[in-house]
A = this chain, B = another copy of it.
Amino acid sequence: MTELSITRLSSTQEDFDLQLEKLLAWESVSDVKVNQIVDDILSEVKQQGDAAVVTYTNRFDLTSADTMQELELSSEHLAQAFAGLPEVQRSALEKAAQRIRHYHEKQKSDSWQYTEEDGTMLGQKVTPLDRVGLYVPGGKAAYPSSVLMNAIPAKVAGVAEIIMVVPTPRGELNQLVLAAASLAGVDRVFTIGGAQAVAALAYGTETVPKVDKIVGPGNIFVATAKRAVFGAVGIDMIAGPSEILVVCDGQTDPDWVAMDLFSQAEHDEDAQPILVTPDAGFIDQVEESIRKLLPTMERKEIIEVSLRTRAALILVEDMQQALEISNRIAPEHLELSVEDPEVLLPLVRHAGAIFMGRHTAEALGDYCAGPNHVLPTSGTARFSSPLGVYDFQKRSSLIMFSADGASDIGGVASVLARGEGLTAHARSAEYRIKN
């Protein structure tokens, strides 16, 4: 590990802006071959339904199903998975689910309306989506916490039916994932994955019901398929690699900060852990902790690549400058590892989630703090939000004019419509003007 070299930057170096830009640069490669494979799968499932899904599942997951029915898990199966967990895991899942539910209930929007003097009513009706598809990756990257984070907000929103898909490569089933599905109230589970599962959810088959929106993470085939079906159904954001930005005053235990950086780095070789601090000595201390702790980590190979290729230790002049740089990065996870984080909060303009104070490890937010762990990556926090109940509700405008109101406003509409050359609009409004 002695050769491990982590990028160091200083806000005072001449080419800082350029170096920061290079550090953050990330573009997911859109692969022509992947696009072609996905397009073929989508169109076959659209045409042939169940038969195509079964064929692709047997081919890619090395299963041997004859019918789509064999690829559905009963709710008893899920309940058994939950009941069969060791007590400590069951109660940890329950505690997490309860906190997630409680937090997300605060996000629920209600319909509203108001009535004007002439009796005209305006408002907005808020309704849940009818049916949502939840993609859960199979194999090693199967995360029960993702099931809770995606399914619970949908249930809180009032979504009537959640259809989960999870591939089972070589028949491998993750009991924790099934237990989480049971706990979160997932309605049906199919053991399918890849572009074929996305297609089944987007278009519907004889057995898999068509959904209104597909959420949840997946590999490049899943992401490409989601992008392709967007419009036919809604989708959540397509996530880039995970990132953490730790802003520290230099007074947190450097081992804690090193481990917080590791907790992003262990996700993925492309994950991006960054430390920003005004304390040059602290950068040395954290780097020392990194060297000391890295050999003890189970996923040290992944962490090491992430640190070597994507990490940075950034020296700034003061905390104000640290926050300016944070806003430029618009990180997925922002840790304010300082004594009084509330003083800094007003300076934060763009971040997916803000972890305030030395005790608030980002990892707590991944599992059980309550807020969602599905967060905008790659700077998209500039314009997007954590997954939430609002992603499973939609709004309809309400407009009810009284006869007087329509007569009164009809003239305005008529003038504007004629200004745009749309005379049917104008005449439709004019009909409602009283003589």
Task: Please count how many residues in chain A sit with their CB below 8 Å of the partner chain's CB atoms.
Answer: 117
Q: Is the CB of A405 within 8 A of B359?
A: yes
Number of identical protomers: 2
Partner of A365, one of B93, B266, B399, B410: B399
Q: Mark A406-435 against chain B: 1 for CB-CB distance below 8 A, else 0.
A: 110111110111011111111111011000
Q: Mark A329-352 against chain B: 1 for CB-CB distance below 8 A, else 0.
A: 000000000000110010011111
Interface centre among A262, A342, A398, A426, by most B CB within 10 Å? A398
**CB contact list, A103-154 vs B, under 8 A:** 103, 106-107, 112, 114, 121-122, 124-125, 127, 129-130, 140, 143-145
Q: Is the CB of B423 within 8 A of A298?
A: yes
Chain B residues with CB under 8 Å of A231's CB are 238, 378, 380
Of A56-64, A315-323, A368-376, which binds chain B? A368-376
A211: nearest chain-B partner, CB-CB: B383
Complex Cα–Cα for A426 and B297 (A): 11
Partner of A424, one of B253, B263, B349, B351: B263
Chain B residues with CB under 8 Å of A212's CB are 382-383
Q: Is the CB of B95 within 8 A of A412?
A: yes
Q: Is the CB of A299 within 8 A of B423?
A: yes
A431: nearest chain-B partner, CB-CB: B256
Q: Is the CB of B428 within 8 A of A352?
A: no
Chain B residues with CB under 8 Å of A255's CB are 431
